[in-house]
Chains A and B, each alone.
Chain A
Amino acid sequence: MSLWEYANPVKFLRLSERVLPALWVFAGLCVATGLIWGFFATPDDYRQGSTVKIIFLHVPSALMAINAWFMMLVTSLIWLIRRHHVSALAAKAAAPVGAVMTVIALATGALWGQPMWGTWWAWDPRLTSFLILFLFYLGYIALWEAIEDPDTAADLTSVLCLVGSVFAVLSRYAVHFWNQGLHQGTSVPVATGARTVSDVFFIPLVICMIGFGMLFVALVLYRTGTEIRLRRTRALLARGARGA
């Protein structure tokens, strides 16, 4: 069995309908457990006080905001190279999810930054690259809506996605590229494992990160199914109009 089999819309829908119930339950359990644990059962940080509880929303949403764009990059490349419609529709389905994750990261960041930095916003490399990433999400969604022919829309949005990937990379590594600004480096560096977060915060944080990841996957599968159905409806209506 090959992964490319799921480029077939019928097979994709069959698979997604089979895995989605379990994914929703797993994602819901992880998000609820992580957030309830983080909000109710973690102590205040000795410097940041109760604002440390914002980490359970800010870090997972920021992570998914960037990863959503990379998922869109991969599916856009698959569209450009192999012309599988499902991959283009998956990228289209992921964009609003990524945009919402970016807004959550920006909003929770501002709410965290105000008491800690004394400002809601600063033109810091990471914050600015995140804002630009959000604008790319909006542009990507608008471009899909603006072009009537779905194949042309998929082509142009794929190119936009390639360009926007620069900002997705910058959002992730801005702190390392420019060693300045208010935003700290990552607290949970996956590559080095040298995390600066104590276990009391780290465990619920990881549960939230897994939960947001699973929620993203579930939402993208679900929304891709919607896009496949809309595309099929358009095809049937067009066939009916030609036959009339």
Chain B
Amino acid sequence: MMPELGKYAFEVLSAYGVSLLLLAALLGLSIARDRRARADLRHAEEETRRNG
């Protein structure tokens, strides 16, 4: 059940929406970057092993 926000509903909901969106984007981008870094490192280590 949604609380009664009265005449400030836009400001309150926007504040929560923007903040949660920014936090989700930060988390998503951090995870994507880490996955790429792990894959690149695995690849580089395999290359190094192959080339001695």
User: A138: CB under 8 A from chain B?
Assistant: no
A115 CA to B1 CA, complexed, in Å: 25
Which of the segments A51-59, A153-161, A182-190 contacts the partner chain? A51-59
A225 CA to B36 CA, complexed, in Å: 12
User: Given B1, B12, B37, which contacts A50 in the complex, CB threshold below 8 Å?
Assistant: B12
User: Given B1, B12, B34, B45, which contacts A53 in the complex, CB threshold below 8 Å?
Assistant: B12
Interface residues on A, range: 35 or more
Q: What residues of B have a CB within 8 angstroms of the CB of A237 in the complex?
A: 44
Q: How far is the CB of A57 from chain B (nearest CB, A)?
A: 5
A226 CA to B40 CA, complexed, in Å: 11
Chain A residue at minimal CB-CB distance from B29: A96
User: A80: CB under 8 A from chain B?
Assistant: no
User: Given B6, B7, B18, B37, which contacts A107 in the complex, CB threshold below 8 Å?
Assistant: B18
Most buried by B among A96, A100, A103, A112: A100
Chain B stretch 30-47: residues in CB contact (< 8 A) with chain A: 30, 33-34, 37-38, 40-41, 44-45, 47
User: A222: CB under 8 A from chain B?
Assistant: yes
Q: What residues of B have a CB within 8 angstroms of the CB of A35 in the complex?
A: 16
Known contacts A104-B18, A107-B19, A236-B45; is-contact A51 B12 (Cβ 8 Å): yes
Q: How far is the CB of A125 from chain B (nearest CB, A)?
A: 22
Interface of A: prevailing SS? helix
Cross-chain contact A232 with B41 (CB below 8 angstroms): yes
User: A7: CB under 8 A from chain B?
Assistant: no
Chain A stretch 19-63: residues in CB contact (< 8 A) with chain B: 35, 39-40, 44, 49-51, 53-54, 57-58, 61
Q: What residues of A have a CB within 8 angstroms of the CB of B19 in the complex?
A: 57, 61, 104, 107-108
User: A193: CB under 8 A from chain B?
Assistant: no
Q: How far is the CB of A19 from chain B (nearest CB, A)?
A: 16
A232 CA to B43 CA, complexed, in Å: 12
User: A179: CB under 8 A from chain B?
Assistant: no
Cross-chain contact B14 with A111 (CB below 8 angstroms): yes
Known contacts A107-B19, A236-B47; is-contact A226 B37 (Cβ 8 Å): yes
Q: How far is the CB of A128 from chain B (nearest CB, A)?
A: 21
Q: What residues of B have a CB within 8 angstroms of the CB of A236 in the complex?
A: 41, 44-45, 47-48
User: A97: CB under 8 A from chain B?
Assistant: yes
Chain B residue at minimal CB-CB distance from A99: B26
Cross-chain contact A112 with B22 (CB below 8 angstroms): no
Show the binding face of B for A, using Cβ within 8 Å: 1, 3-9, 11-12, 14-16, 18-19, 22-23, 25-27, 30, 33-34, 37-38, 40-41, 44-45, 47-48, 51
Show the binding face of A for B, using Cβ within 8 Å: 35, 39-40, 44, 49-51, 53-54, 57-58, 61, 96-97, 100, 103-104, 107-108, 111-112, 114-115, 215, 219, 222-223, 225-226, 229-230, 232-233, 236-237, 239-240, 243-244
